[in-house]
Amino acid sequence: MIVVMKAGCSQDDISKVTDHIDKSGLKYHTSQGITHTIIGVLGQALPEFRDTLELLPGVEEVILVSKPYKLASREFHPRDTTINVRGVTIGDNEIAIMAGPCAVESKQQILSTARAVKAAGATILRGGAFKPRTSPYQFQGLGEEGLKLLSMAREETGLPIITEVMTPHDVELVAEYADILQVGARNMQNFPLLDRVGRIKKPVMLKRGLSSTIQEWLLAAEYILSEGNDQVILCERGIRTFETYTRNTMDISAIPIIKRVSHLPIIADPSHATGKWYLVEPLALAAIASGADGLLVEVHPNPDKALTDGPQSLTFDNFQHLMSLLPPIAQAINRDITSLNTKIKS
């Protein structure tokens, strides 16, 4: 249920509505638009509750939200959510490019990659310090040492950093270093983790689960939003299908669907979606053409020697080539490419 207040209603009118919701044992979330204040009612409200709300002063209308997710829905928040990290915006007209290795491996590896992706036009540096690996015998990441190396790379290049957090216990530590915390596909429904990242004041990028529907994904985002963190970014990274030519199947249609039903920014990850470096470029272009707010691309100085995800990692040259193809695609769909152009040229 969403309460739309009249334009110019008083603070007292708003308080009357929120008090009424409180007294009925329900929770609420207020969103201040340019002209209207919108109050989302959270929890199971009886249909009669709607009538009692409509009688209150300052209430324009009460809308029943048909979707099971409320705070993530466009009905609740008609305008796009924009997130700002150290001057880089995600979800506005500009396209955000997150790039870097799958895992931080050494100082030399992360610093050289950070410099190369920045020079090619990336706006955010990625790199995993805590790695969710299918086998316990594979490289698990450098842990806190990896976070320190990422901070070093941020200090030198000025690029904000995104890195994965795997357990509720690590959230505090990762949040000390990271500008954006990533919740990986395998943890999309780790509810204690979602609750915990919902209580921090930093942006969280939530990857789509390996076999999750769009609705399950948005309900996972709802967990974070309902804990009070409204800086949620979604990331389409491919889903499991019967196809074996690719690691996953990139669900391009998820991008315009998310744009239609939700206000949250959506990033496309063609690296994990395809698992093959030569498919990253075409899928990246398709994602931007479909309206993605940005890309997450794995880049490594020497993919053949990478400790994780080498087959899907781009070399520096291949990443630069991909970046050179983006401006005309972005321009064709009226996205702001000023920064892309400037960065590519400088």
Contact residues toward ligand PEP (CB under 6 A) are 102, 128, 132, 184-186, 207, 237, 272
At 37, give phi and psi (nearest 5°).
Answer: -95, 135
Asked if 102 is part of the footprint of Mn ion (rule: CB under 5 A), the reply reads yes
**Residues facing 2 on adjacent strands:** 40, 63
Question: Which residues on adjacent β-strands are paired with residue 111?
Answer: none
**CB of 184 vs Mn ion, minimal distance in Å:** 9
SS3 content of the chain, % helix, strand, coil (to 5): 40, 20, 40
Minimum Å distance from CB 137 to Mn ion? Answer: 17
CB nearer to ligand PEP: give 115 or 186.
186
Radius of gyration from C-alpha coordinates of the chain: 21
Select from 231-239, 262-270, 301-309, 334-342 the region that touches Mn ion (CB under 5 A): 301-309
CB of 226 or CB of 313, closer to ligand PEP:
313
> Is residue 164 a contact residue for Mn ion (CB under 5 A)?
no
Q: State the nearest-atom distance from the C-beta of 270 to Mn ion, in Å.
A: 12
Q: What is the DSSP string of 36-79?
A: -EEEEEES---HHHHHHHHTSTTEEEEE---SS--TTBTTT--S
- Choose the contact partner of 259 out of Mn ion, ligand PEP, none; CB within 5 to 8 A by kind: none
Closest approach, Cβ 207 to ligand PEP, in A, equals: 4
- Sign for the pseudo-dihedral over CA of 329, 330, 333, 337: negative
Number of residues that bind Mn ion (CB under 5 A): 2
Among 165, 309, 322, 335, binds Mn ion (CB under 5 A): 309
Instruction: Please give the structure tokens belonging to residue 305.
Output: 């020697």
Closest contact distance (angstroms) between CB of 215 and ligand PEP is 19
Shortest distance (Å) from residue 238 CB to Mn ion: 12
Which residue lies nearer to ligand PEP by CB, 83 or 306? 306
Ranked by CB distance to ligand PEP, the top (closest) residue is: 184
185 binds, among ligand PEP, Mn ion, none (CB under 5 to 8 A by kind): ligand PEP
CA distance 95 to 123: 9
Q: Which residue is nearest to Mn ion (CB)?
A: 102
The DSSP bridge partners found for residue 181 are: 163, 204
Q: Please give the Cα distance from 2 to 77 (Å, whole number).
A: 10
258 in Cβ contact with 80 (< 8 Å): no
Q: Which is nearer to Mn ion, 3 or 102 (CB)?
A: 102
**DSSP, res 323:** H
Q: Interface residues with Mn ion (CB under 5 A)?
A: 102, 309
